Amino acid sequence: MGGMKEMMIEHQEDVALASDYLVNKGVLQKCEYHGEIFGGGAWKLEGEFWRTAMADRNRGDTGPVPWATKIEAREYTDLLKEAYEEHCGDECSYCAKLMAD
Ligand SMILES: [Zn+2]
């Protein structure tokens, strides 16, 4: 049972890496002041995105997603979907709060 927590932490790190990748691709946005990632929501990424994502994965250690080479393709796509859905919202919540105050 001891490894369970580590696996969860590792998963969160993978989701964070997937999120950064989506930001780099312009799929998600990152607030330049707070570092919060947003712009995701219900899954709507297209086939063209997946071709790019898989090509990037195939580039291995020299590509933009070296972390993806150690996981299954299926896990990779699941991570990208999870990262996208996790960062739903049209704006940084910190900025939104500041605007409201
Ligand atoms: Zn912000």
CA of 42 to the centre of ligand 1 (A): 22
pLDDT tens digits, one per residue of 69-97 = 989 999 999 999 999 999 999 999 999 99
- Tokens for 19? 């999120």
For residues 31 and 12, give the distance between their C-alpha atoms in angstroms, rounded to a whole number: 20
CA angle 30, 62, 77 (to 5 degrees): 55
CA of 48 to the centre of ligand 1 (A): 30
- Confidence (pTM): 0.88
Question: Would you say 28 and 22 are in contact if contact means Cβ atoms under 8 Å apart?
Answer: yes
CA-based nearest residue to 15, from 61, 60, 68, 55: 68
pLDDT tens digits, one per residue of 1-53 = 568 888 889 899 999 999 999 999 999 999 999 999 999 998 878 889 999 99
pLDDT, residue 30, reads 97
For residues 30 and 23, give the distance between their C-alpha atoms in angstroms, rounded to a whole number: 7
